[in-house]
Chains A and B, each alone.
Chain A
Amino acid sequence: MSNWLYLHARAIADAFRRLAGQPLGTLLSAMVVGIALSLPAGGYLLLDNVATLARGVSGTPEISLFLANDAGAADVAAVERRLKGNPELSSFRFVSRDDALHQLERSGLGDVLGGLTANPLPDAFIVAPHSEDPAVFERLATEMRGWPKVAHVQLDSAWVKRLHALLGLGRSAVLMLAGLLGFALVIVTFNTIRLQILTQRAEIEVSRLLGATDPFIRRPFYWFGILQGALGGLVALGTVWLGVRALAGPVTALAETYGAVFALAGPGLPEAAAILAFAALLGWLGAAVSVRRHLAGD
């Protein structure tokens, strides 16, 4: 075990030596890997921020059920009984016309409302179904529209659902982008390792004559790929971090114009670790394919 670790430590040191031996090539490769990875990483981060924002605005899709202005207490009670008897609903709350008026006054529209002679707002129920299936929402809304003294039914959070659908689409697009660019990175590493093998052909041949096994020959190339990938991952993290730093101020300012408080979040520790691991994995994969292709049968 200790010998195995020692040989890996030697291979890592050897890979570092090779990377340090050609600083410009190493830097350029890391930049290519990093910039390519920063696109899906930045896209993922952007979607994550939008998702957080959407969760903050409304986490659960709801149905607003507005009663007619002439609905009396008995009508309200009748609607409440229907809601209580519906097993598809997880919760509902009643917002009286007076409460609705008070809420509007507190939101800064007191001056406008002060000019009215009577409360124009209706009584309302805010209803949350168990399911988030749009078809269930539509069916329930249609059913409620047929109830007595129900004037209007509105799917309050339909836009949130659309946003979630768009986020899902965005995630798929980011995954596809990551897949494509990941494949490109495997090719970049494949070619880098191919050149490494060509330039070190003499060393490989001498090592084989001196009794080096296949794993001994291949190990430094695997580590080279892993380290090059990880360096690219660091460049990607740096690029994303710079992007977040550059956009954080304008995004916060934009949110403030809508009366919202929102700060753009950069990659956390788990995301950073995932980006590094993904980059290292791609590097290893490119190296493994290249080594298999160019050292086979030596």
Chain B
Amino acid sequence: MIVFDNVAKRYPGGYTALAGVSFEIRHGELVVLSGHSGAGKSTLLKLIPAIERPTAGTVLINGQDVSRLPRRAVPYLRRNLGLMLQESKLLTDRSVFENVMLPLVITGHPPGDAAKRVAAALERVGLGGRGREMPLGLSGGEQQRVAIARAIVNRPSILIADEPTAHLDPAYADEIAALFKSFNSAGVTVLVSTHDANLFAANKPRRLVLAKGLLTEGA
């Protein structure tokens, strides 16, 4: 489902974020990616939706080589992924409902069907009936829930999250982790990066550990 084959990423200027990383994630797995700051976690996650391109190696998503994907095909790849990256912030001038609706607007869903899906996604993350509120009026944990609702509203087969519990109290972090686990139980492949070693510990997920651009555990 997700295959990294000897993937390297070197930025202009010479900084090597990833050096020969290889692993495979099968359909329906829950995988936690960990490592210190600067280990290459964010870079690795950005290679999956082709935000970054590898300088060497191959990245396959559902059999599709995304490292050589033409630019015009990238949007259609991303529509099949649930993304919670550091760049995918909530739009503060749009309501919760409109934020979650955005992926469906992009894919041209009929408004009636889209509204039902948004309501269901908000219900799923425990924010049912709060669609009219603005993101800045929500707590940090609630904002993350909105981001999760937006990531899953298109019913992706793969959910990718970069530090979704950063800056959250432990209680909120556990709630978010429980949500990811529930999506995984429903058959969604989940890849989450975190620096919190205890997060998901109860679920005994598969762990990938990065250090200085090298995969030191979980290959």
- Residues of A that sit less than 8 Å from B by CB: 3, 6-7, 10, 202-203, 205-214, 216
Contact = CB atoms under 8 A, between A and B. Distances in A.
Contacts of B51: 209
Contacts, number: 49
B78 A216 contact: no
Contact of B108 (A3, A202, A206, A210): A3
Contacts of A3: 108
Contacts of B40: none
A159 to B, nearest CB: 64
A7 B106 CA distance: 8
Contacts of B77: 211
B87 interface: yes
A212 B102 CA distance: 10
A202 B90 CA distance: 9
Contacts of A212: 75, 106
Given A3-B108, A7-B108, A216-B106, A210 B88 contact: yes
A207 B101 CA distance: 11
Residue with the highest number of chain B CB atoms closer than 10 Å, among A203, A207, A208, A209:
A209
A134 to B, nearest CB: 61
B91 A211 contact: no
Contacts of A216: 75, 106
B135 to A, nearest CB: 12
Given A6-B108, A10-B105, A206 B78 contact: no
Interface in B77-120: 77-79, 83, 85, 87-89, 91, 102-103, 105-108, 110
Given A206-B88, A206-B89, A206-B91, A211 B108 contact: no
A210 B106 contact: yes
27 contacts: A3-B108, A6-B108, A6-B110, A7-B108, A10-B105, A202-B89, A203-B91, A205-B87, A206-B87, A206-B89, A206-B91, A206-B102, A208-B75, A209-B49, A209-B78, A209-B83, A209-B88, A210-B88, A210-B103, A210-B106, A211-B75, A211-B77, A212-B75, A212-B106, A213-B72, A213-B75, A216-B75
Nearest to A4: B108
A210 B85 contact: no
Contacts of B49: 209
Contact of A211 (B72, B78, B87, B110): B78
Nearest to A297: B71
Contacts of B110: 6
B15 interface: no
A53 to B, nearest CB: 55
A218 to B, nearest CB: 13
Contact of B85 (A7, A209, A211): A209
Contacts of B107: 211
A3 B110 CA distance: 8
Nearest to B90: A206
A213 B103 CA distance: 12
Nearest to B107: A211
Nearest to A14: B105
Contacts of A6: 108, 110
A66 to B, nearest CB: 80
Nearest to A214: B72
